Amino acid sequence: PAQLRAATNRLQLDLQGPRLDTIASWTGDLSFEPGPFAASASLRGMDGGLALDDLVIEVGTRGTAWCRIQGSATDIADLQDGGLGAVQGLDLEMQLFTPNSANLESWLKLPLPPGFSVEGALSLQGDGRLLQPVAGHVHARSSDISLTIEPVAGEIRPTADPVASKLEAGLYLSMSDTSALSQFTEFVVPVLGEVDGTALLRQTDQGFSLQDIDLKVQDDELSITSTGSVSQLSPLGGLSLETRFAGLDLAALLTGFVDNFHYERSLGSLEGSAQLNLRSNAWSLEHVRIATSDPDGPVVLALSGSARDLSRFPATDSELRYHVRDPDFLAAFTGLHMN
């Protein structure tokens, strides 16, 4: 009250409880409930206002989702009447952890892919109505995938639903192998090598999208690059990736698809390009161009065309031209030996 706002007064505050809604008379209604909380701070009177120093808040649990906030506020004098929205001059450092990204959905009210452990640190500035990230990072890891997210813009509104909106961040991706993508698709992605990539993560009304995707696979002589975008991450939709590759070992590819394939001579490699699309829950390959790199090899291939509905009822419209110069290859491929 009025006497506490005098510049000579200081008050130490320590508070804890089983749920945040037990202090709703101070915070106002929140759009999420993280569970148990503990808080401490120093209140300091200042020329009719009330500053908050040495603030430390912990909410949630490390077994589900946990958040720690440290910082200060220049004036919380109207907190009881106006709730969190009345707090002025917030300067906060936030730490976040969860063993499973699915646990954050109830906090953020956003669709998130499950199965990732998440830890992060963010610097936020603003007031009780609107906080904006000024620095920080978030790391998300699964058994095969590692993501680093560096926010560049966004709005955090503690009393709004959803809490986070208009988020934009740089995304840096590393995967142990291309086959890790199989968990997000309706078909098996072959083992081709480690993946590194970057993209721009943007929050939309439907969830999150990826723009400016740039993926690279580099493994010995194999080189694959993919560029494009994904309009919706969860559930996955609106995907368009243009892929170019070179150095794909033809013999290794046939060994994976043809039983008991064994051929002594080198078959060389494949090179080409294609566009992978996901529209209306249907996967397709368009503008396919694949050819052998050695025009004088034992097998010369040239494939062009498209394939639709890859995961359900595949239909192709393609042209294949080939020239087999070695009967031993034909025998290895078909299992039929020529006299």
User: What is the pLDDT tens value at each position of the chain, 339 positions in all?
Assistant: 445 555 567 888 899 999 888 887 777 677 677 889 999 999 888 777 889 999 999 999 999 999 999 999 999 888 777 878 889 999 999 999 999 999 988 887 777 788 899 999 999 999 999 999 999 999 999 989 999 999 999 999 888 878 888 999 999 999 998 888 887 777 677 788 899 999 999 988 878 899 999 999 988 789 999 999 999 887 888 999 999 999 998 988 888 778 888 888 899 999 999 999 999 888 999 999 999 998 888 999 999 999 998 877 788 899 999 999 988 888 888 877 765
Alpha carbon distance 64, 129 (integer Å)? 26
Asked whether 158 and 128 are in contact (CB, 8 A), the reply is: yes
Measured between alpha carbons, how far apart are the two ends of the chain, in Å? 103
Three-state DSSP class for residue 184: helix
- Rounded to two decimals, the pTM is 0.78
* Cβ contacts of 143 within 8 Å, gap of 6 or more: none
- Cα–Cα distance between 215 and 228 in angstroms, integer? 9
Check if the beta carbon of residue 127 is closer than 8 Å to that of residue 176: no
Between CA 79 and CA 28 the distance in angstroms is: 9
Give which of 151, 192, 198 is closest to 174, Cα–Cα. Answer: 198
Beta bridge partners of 272: 245, 290
**Full DSSP string of 44-68:** EEETTEEEEEEEEEEEE-TTS-EEE
- The Cα–Cα gap between 322 and 333 comes to 14
Tokens for 132, please give them.
Answer: 């904006």
Taking residue 76's Cβ as centre, other Cβ atoms within 10 Å add up to 23
pLDDT the model gives residue 135: 92
Asked if residue 211 lies in contact with residue 202, where contact means CB atoms within 8 angstroms, the answer is yes
Torsion from C-alpha of 274, 275, 277, 283, nearest 10 degrees: -10
